[in-house]
Amino acid sequence: MTARILSGTAIRDQIYADLKNDIAELKAMGIQPGLAAVLVGNNPASEMYVKSKVAACSELGLFSEMITPPDTISTEELLAMVGQLNRRDEIDGILVQLPLPKQVNAKRILDAVDPEKDVDGFHPVSVGRLVAGQPGLVACTPAGVMEILRRSGIAVEGANAVVMGRSDIVGKPMALLLMHAHATVTICHSKTKNLPDVVRRADIVVAAMGKAGMVQPDWIKPGATVIDVGMNRLTDADLAAKLFASYPKRLEKFREKGFTTCGDVHPDAAQVAGAITPVPGGVGPLTIAMLMSNTVKAARLRRGARIAQPAAARS
């Protein structure tokens, strides 16, 4: 058996099509949703991420603004900058790209973002709304996973779901979303006893441990759905040889470049699972898509533009 591949790229394109309709409806009401991205310093990886987010705004017709203070900025200076963005009515979403320089108190900065503009879903108010099952802005990666499951026709209600990882950004909100969708949820982490046995009982596995190829094929229940959130830069030649033994083309590309991107799940799990997300091209594209979706949602919630139901909710 070979697993059905759940393409994040294809699902992202579906979401973008829905969002274009939503944005057109808002523009007809004189509203153009706007996103401000704060990028501190010159971190190449962060620059790439923010530019891809700004490009997505341009593609969809959202207003975007990139703010690039120097890496010498203080916590107080950055707090003042966030405060200005909170007060600007044309800005519906505020994204503060992490990591921030060591001298900046990242928690104070994230907590200073107006919860109504918290498109990352990190603010304690956003988390509280998620816990309570109230409408609000949800962390982008877990929200994207739920879109993959929904749009791929994967049954969540009544399923045994295992979330591997307990981070505030992925693991905890992921478990809450699955629970609200009526799954029976187990959260695993580095201290979980008999981890393979726990994972084997799952109908849905969400792997977000940040360790390349950690989840072995024999951990997977035959026919289970596997969502691989991991995005690991792999440079270990011995580990690459083990992970890609059945994938000579990927191994050849690794040897040419000296590195590759891989997930938390061993690629051979695709021979056991019923459905699986690839890495790259699985969960990754959905993270930016849900940031765009959150920006549009924030515009509706902030401005009371509930006149027409969003196209995304109708699909």
Q: Which of 65, 19, 22 lies closest to 289 in space, CA to CA?
A: 19
Is 222 in contact with 199 (CB distance < 8 Å)?
Answer: no
Q: How far apart are CA 160 and CA 60, in angstroms?
A: 36
Q: How far apart are CA 25 and CA 31, in angstroms?
A: 9
Report the DSSP pairing between strands 260-262 and 232-234. antiparallel
- Cα 200 to chain centroid, rounded: 25
Q: Residues 6 or more apart from 241 whose CB is under 8 A from it?
A: 251
Active-site residue identified among 18, 53, 221, 264: 53
* Structure tokens that stand for 148 in this block: 């993959």
Any catalytic annotation for residue 193?
Answer: no
Active-site residue identified among 92, 120, 228, 264: 120
Any catalytic annotation for residue 53?
Answer: yes
44-60 vs 284-303: helix axis angle to the nearest 10?
A: 60
SS3 of 125-181: HHHHHHHHCCCCCCCHHHHHHHHHHHHCCCCCCCCEEEEECCCCCCHHHHHHHHHHC
Element of type H or E holding 56: helix 44-60
Q: Residues 6 or more apart from 139 whose CB is under 8 A from it?
A: 120, 121, 122, 126, 169, 170, 173
Any catalytic annotation for residue 120?
Answer: yes
How many degrees, rounded to 5, is the angle at CA 291 between CA 288 and CA 294?
A: 155
Active-site residue identified among 18, 22, 92, 97: 97
- Cα 195 to chain centroid, rounded: 24
Residues in the chain: 315
Give catalytic residue positions.
53, 97, 120
